[in-house]
C-alpha cells in the first residue's frame, strides 16, 4: 500500500528537522546522509524519495530553519510593537539560543559553512536573509523612526552575535556580548528603555 500524502509530508519534515539540528551543530562536511536518517529514525532509502542529495537537503534546511527561527516570528495581536521588538531581541540574543536550547537560526548557526559553499547554497542563504529583513521591516512599518538600514544593521548584529557566541568558550564573555548587542539593537531601534540584562542570570539558573 503506498504511503499517504500526509505520511510523506511528515517524513520529509522529520528529515528537515534532523538536517536543521545536525547541520547547525556540526556543519555540512561532518554530517552524512546516514547521520541524518539515523537521527530522524528513518532508513537511508527513504532519503532519496524526498531529496536528490545532501546539498539539496542542506539548502532546504536553511529555508525551513529560517522560517522556524524566532527572528521570523510574527507579532501577536495582543502585544505592542515595542513589546514584540524587545521580546524578539531578548529571545534571539539569549544564551539559550547560543546553546541550542531553542530552535537554532540557520542564518547564525550555518553562516561559516555557507561562506565556503557553492553559489546555489549561498544564493539560498542570501534569499532568506533578505526575506527576514523584509519580514521584520513589515512588522515595524508603523515605527516611522526605523529605516531599512536600521533593520539591516540590527539583523546583522543579531546574527553575528549569536555566531560569535557559539565560537567562544567563555560563557561570561558570551553573555556580555549578547547583552551589549541587545542593548545596541534596542538603542538603534529607539527602544533604550526596554534594555534587559538577563542572559547571565538565565545561564546560571
Q: How far apart are CA 128 and CA 66, in angstroms?
A: 7
pLDDT in tens, 155-187: 999 999 999 999 999 999 999 999 999 999 998
Give the mean pLDDT of 61-90.
90
pLDDT of residue 198: 42
pLDDT of residue 126: 94
- Residue 3 confidence (pLDDT) above 80: no
Can you state the percent helix, strand and coil of the chain, rounding each to 5? 70, 0, 30
Answering whether pTM is above 0.95, one says no
Instruction: Match domain 69-203 to its CATH number in 2.60.40.10, 2.30.30.40, 1.10.357.10, 3.30.565.10.
Output: 1.10.357.10
Q: Which CATH superfamily is domain 5-53 in?
A: Homeodomain-like (1.10.10.60)
- Residue 205 confidence (pLDDT) above 60: no
- Residue 114 confidence (pLDDT) above 90: no
- Residue 193 confidence (pLDDT) above 60: no
Residue from 110, 113, 159, 114 nearest 132 by CA: 159
Each domain of the chain, given as residue ranges in start order, spans 5-53, 69-203
Q: How confident is the model at residue 7 (pLDDT cuts 50, 70, 90)?
A: confident
- Residue 112 confidence (pLDDT) above 90: no
Helix (H, G, I), strand (E, B) or coil at 103: coil
Amino acid at each position: 500500500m503506498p504511503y499517504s500524502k500526509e505520511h510523506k509530508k511528515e517524513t520529509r519534515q522529520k528529515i528537515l528537522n534532523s538536517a536543521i539540528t545536525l547541520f547547525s551543530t556540526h556543519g555540512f562536511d561532518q554530517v552524512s546522509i546516514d547521520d541524518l536518517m539515523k537521527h530522524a529514525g528513518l532508513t537511508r532509502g527513504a532519503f532519496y524519495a524526498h531529496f536528490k542529495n545532501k546539498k539539496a537537503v542542506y539548502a532546504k534546511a536553511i529555508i525551513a530553519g529560517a522560517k522556524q527561527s524566532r527572528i521570523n516570528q510574527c507579532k501577536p495581536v495582543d502585544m505592542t510593537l515595542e513589546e514584540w521588538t524587545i521580546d524578539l531581541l531578548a529571545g534571539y540574543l539569549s544564551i539559550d539560543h547560543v546553546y541550542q536550547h531553542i530552535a537554532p537560526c540557520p542564518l547564525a548557526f550555518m553562516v561559516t559553512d555557507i561562506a565556503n559553499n557553492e553559489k546555489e547554497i549561498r544564493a539560498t542563504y542570501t534569499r532568506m536573509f533578505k526575506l527576514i529583513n523584509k519580514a521584520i521591516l513589515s512588522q515595524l512599518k508603523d515605527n516611522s523612526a526605523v529605516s531599512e538600514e536600521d533593520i539591516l544593521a540590527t539583523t546583522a548584529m543579531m546574527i553575528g552575535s549569536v555566531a560569535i557566541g557559539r565560537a567562544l568558550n567563555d560563557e561570561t564573555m558570551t553573555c556580555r556580548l549578547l547583552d551589549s548587542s541587545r542593548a545596541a539593537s534596542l538603542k538603534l531601534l529607539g527602544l533604550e528603555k526596554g534594555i534587559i540584562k538577563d542572559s547571565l542570570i538565565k545561564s546560571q539558573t
